[in-house]
A = this chain, B = another copy of it.
């Protein structure tokens, strides 16, 4: 047993690519912990993000299957974003980081 699964196939770099960068973490956390949001809602709730960056990051999250995009055929336009099952299942990762933070504070 000179063998350690968690080291051999570590998904950390992949996850960091998927949710790293300046905005994806905040966007995903909103959708995971607060629920479905319209584009304009996210724009207001993700502090400091611009229209351009929000669109780019949402597209990337969607491409990685973490976020779902639902377009309503209405005027004015309405688009709702939500976390997919894959996105929601990242919750334990956030919880592990939260726990690390709490234990570290002592």
From the candidates B7, B15, B96, name the one contacting A33 in the complex (CB within 8 A).
B7
**Docked-complex contact B5 and A98, CB < 8 angstroms:** yes
Question: A72 at the A/B interface (Cβ < 8 Å)?
Answer: no
What is the predominant secondary structure among interface residues of chain A facing chain B? helix
From the candidates B13, B33, B90, B97, name the one contacting A100 in the complex (CB within 8 A).
B90
**Docked-complex contact A20 and B29, CB < 8 angstroms:** no
Given A12-B97, A93-B97, A96-B96, 14 more A-B residue pairs with CB atoms under 8 Å apart are A4-B33, A5-B98, A6-B94, A7-B33, A9-B98, A10-B97, A11-B101, A12-B29, A12-B94, A15-B100, A16-B25, A89-B104, A92-B100, A93-B93
